[in-house]
Amino acid sequence: MAPAADVGVALLRLASLRWVRHAIPLALLLLLLLSVCAWSSRAPPGCGSGTQPCIPEGTPPVQVARQSGSLEAPEWEEPPCGGPQGVLGHVMGPFRASLDSEGDLALSQYLAGWRALVRFLSPLGSIFAFATSEAYAKVTALEARVHGPEAAHYSSLLAMAAWERQEGRLERPGVAPRDTASSSGSRILLLLHRALRWSQLCLHRVATGTLGGPDAGVQCSDAYRTALGPHHPWVVRQAARLAFLAFPGRGRWLELACPGAGEAEARAALVQVAGTLEDVYNRTQGLLAECSLLQLA
């Protein structure tokens, strides 16, 4: 049975035991799981088995175009929360530092950025509790390689990909390992990469949403369908649709982004973070495609 089917069966069994007493919490749990994980799936029809990455028809191009409207902050002084000591500055700093001048991705800084992003998302409530723990587990697993006995091979994305391919450590497309600990570093990075895209889209849409327009839950649900839904089985996508009904409102996001600041400042800071995450996503997407790693999961 394919890995995605195994996950679906397991989730359905869990639902059958707890759904009556815990309907909404279960849906939230499923969303939290899906928001940082992508289940392995078989290559879609029309994909080849050559060295080039297999991109399904209709998938966005390798590098994501900027969203409609500029992601640059308005022409005023940078909000304090976006500075080095601010809440969002702690997220942007390491992610920016991960984009090295040679066009590679520095893994230690990338993971430090993820840790800061997890700390930012955690206070948003129970809907993110499991998501952040799953992201933390993946970050920790990849850090064990970055700082472990084979650290020399895990300084950057390109170094990691080349060494894991040479050592035969890369999974075959559509074949999932037993757990995160046994995954290749390249596969773990791919899963974090997809979750980063969802986070970037969600933050951007929360920051730029207009008064009277779709609320944060609707916008982040749409971002999920774009970034993660295509990688998840039907049962998880349906659970996500329900779970997004309990998503935190825009005001809560802005309050956490810039405590004590005005709405305009908070929105500007979130726009800056979204721009930084998009730059990191685009760099990573291009490198993963170059290394033919987009179909590892």
Least Cα distance to 46 among 63, 58, 64 occurs for 58
Domain coordinates of the chain in residue numbers? 3-38+73-290
Give the alpha-carbon dihedral of 122, 37, 224, 252, to 10 degrees. 0
CA-to-CA distance for 275 and 255, rounded, in angstroms?
Answer: 19
The burial class, CB within 10 Å (0-12 / 13-18 / 19+), for 80 is middle
Under the banding of pLDDT at 50, 70 and 90, the label for residue 128 is low
User: What does residue 214 show for φ and ψ, rounded to 5 degrees?
Assistant: -60, 140
Least Cα distance to 242 among 127, 118, 130 occurs for 127
The pLDDT assigned to 37 comes to 39
**What's the length of the chain?**
297
101, pLDDT greater than 70: yes
70, pLDDT greater than 50: no
Choose between 163 and 256: higher pLDDT.
163
Taking residue 172's Cβ as centre, other Cβ atoms within 10 Å add up to: 9
207, pLDDT greater than 70: yes
Choose between 63 and 59: higher pLDDT.
63
CA-to-CA distance for 87 and 233, rounded, in angstroms?
Answer: 35
Coil/strand/helix, residue 297: coil
The pLDDT assigned to 163 comes to 97
The pLDDT assigned to 79 comes to 60
CA-to-CA distance for 240 and 6, rounded, in angstroms?
Answer: 18
158, pLDDT greater than 70: yes
Residue with tokens 């175009």: 65
Under the banding of pLDDT at 50, 70 and 90, the label for residue 231 is confident
Q: For 3-38+73-290, which CATH class?
A: mainly alpha
CA-to-CA distance for 124 and 249, rounded, in angstroms?
Answer: 10
What letters, b where the CB count within 10 A reaches 16 and e where it falls short, cover 206-235?
A: bbbbeeeeeebbebbbbbbeebbbebbbeb
Residue 51 and residue 292 in contact, taking contact as beta carbons nearer than 8 Å: yes
CA-to-CA distance for 243 and 127, rounded, in angstroms?
Answer: 8
Amino acid at 38: A
User: What does residue 100 show for φ and ψ, rounded to 5 degrees?
Assistant: -75, 165
